[in-house]
């Protein structure tokens, strides 16, 4: 057992998660959807409850129409780190030493878990700033002028309850993860990455060599036919990401 950095927290689904030492295979979308649906944006300084999960779904829908499925999945998950590190107000964040690095490490793990490019697409970042102009409809008039002149996205806030927000988040996730069509291991569900040792399975899917069982009949030969009992299992092939 390798020692982990920092302490662990229990997640909604009963998993252990090390927020300062995250591993992609310990990230579950059910944990993200639930925790983000239970958190209110703007540290709760809203007129009505408005969750980070709803914010993520609205952003994702807008990005989907502009930039397609990969960017839309990124948009849906752009605040996934907040499921473990909570949504800290922007003015506070730079002063919590270690928060931004922790956020970056969790987001890298999230990206690896779901087969996303490591860096947030520029359109998601821009839309995430602009949506604040839409979300001001849910904030009181301010006594002071904001230093902010972004153009609203034109999205409508629904004020979903946590239950509804969680379900909508999961629906959007299931649709998008299917649509982006990342090749992943049928045993552990992790996306394949460059250099992974992989076998094709009789079912038509593929698995990590480390995730394969010893049953010869579940392996295929070069022609795609199942191996026969007694036949030697060939070496795995090395996964190469498509350029």
In whole angstroms, the minimum distance from the beta carbon of 159 to Zn ion comes to: 40
Q: Minimal CA–CA distance to 109: which of 84, 92, 131, 130?
A: 84
**Smallest gap, in angstroms, from Cβ of residue 191 to Zn ion?**
10
Could you tell me which stretch among 11-19, 75-83, 105-113, 203-211 binds Zn ion (CB under 5 A)?
Answer: 203-211
Residue given tokens 């309850």 in the structure block = 161
For the residues of 68-126, what is the DSSP string, one character each?
A: -HHHHHHHHHTTTTHHHH----TTTGGGSTTHHHHHHHHHHHHHHHHT--SSPPHHHHH
CB of 208 to Zn ion, least distance (A): 3
Is residue 188 within the footprint of Zn ion (CB under 5 A)?
A: yes
b/e code 16-39 from CB counts within 10 Å (16+ = b): ebebbbbebebbbbebbbbbbbbb
Shortest Cβ 189–Zn ion spacing (Å): 7
What gap in Å lies between CA 184 and CA 239, rounded to an integer? 11
Is residue 105 within 8 Å of residue 57, measured between CB atoms?
no
> Residues binding Zn ion: what is the number (CB under 5 A)?
5
Return the number of the residue (33 or 190) whose C-beta is nearest Zn ion: 190
Q: Which of 125, 53, 58, 57 is nearest to 83 (CA)?
A: 53
Q: Does 150 bind Zn ion (CB under 5 A)?
A: no
Contact region with Zn ion (CB under 5 A), list: 47-55, 140-148, 161-169, 207-215: 207-215
Residue closer to Zn ion, measured from CB, 179 or 188: 188
Residue 113 as a binder of Zn ion (CB under 5 A): the answer is no
**Binders of Zn ion in range 48-67 (CB under 5 A):** none
The reply on whether position 96 binds Zn ion by CB under 5 A is no
Distance in Å, CB of 178 to Zn ion, minimum = 19
Query: Is 208 near Zn ion (CB under 5 A)?
Result: yes
Q: Choose which of 211, 220, 227, 233 interacts with Zn ion (CB under 5 A).
A: 211
Smallest gap from residue 177 Cβ to Zn ion (A):
16
Residue in 37, 57, 185, 198 binding Zn ion, rule: CB under 5 A: 185
CB 85 within 8 A of CB 99: yes
Distance, CA of 132 to CA of 31 (rounded, Å)? 25
Residue numbers of the site for Zn ion (CB under 5 A)? 185, 187-188, 208, 211
């Amino acid at each position: 057992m390798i020692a982990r950095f920092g302490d662990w927290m229990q997640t909604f689904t009963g998993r252990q998660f090390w927020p300062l030492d995250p591993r992609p295979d310990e990230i579950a979308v059910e944990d993200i959807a639930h925790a983000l649906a239970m958190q209110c944006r703007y540290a709760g300084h809203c007129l009505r409850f408005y969750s980070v999960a709803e914010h993520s779904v609205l952003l994702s829908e807008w990005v989907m129409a502009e930039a397609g499925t990969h960017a839309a999945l990124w948009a849906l998950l752009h605040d996934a780190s907040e499921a473990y590190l909570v949504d800290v107000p922007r003015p506070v964040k730079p002063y919590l030493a270690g928060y931004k690095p922790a956020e970056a490490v969790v987001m890298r793990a999230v990206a690896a878990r779901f087969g996303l490019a490591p860096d947030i697409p520029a359109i998601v970042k821009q839309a995430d700033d602009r949506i604040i102009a839409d979300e001001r409809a849910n904030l009181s008039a301010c006594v002071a002028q904001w230093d902010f002149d972004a153009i609203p996205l034109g999205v409508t806030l629904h004020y979903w309850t946590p239950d509804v927000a969680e379900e909508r988040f999961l629906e959007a996730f299931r649709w998008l993860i299917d649509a982006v069509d990342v090749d992943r291991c049928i045993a552990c569900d992790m996306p394949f990455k460059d250099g992974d040792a992989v076998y094709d399975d009789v079912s038509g899917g593929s698995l990590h060599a480390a995730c394969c069982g010893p049953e010869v009949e579940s392996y295929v030969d070069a022609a795609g036919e199942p191996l026969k009992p007694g036949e030697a299992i060939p070496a795995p092939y090395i996964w190469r990401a498509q350029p």
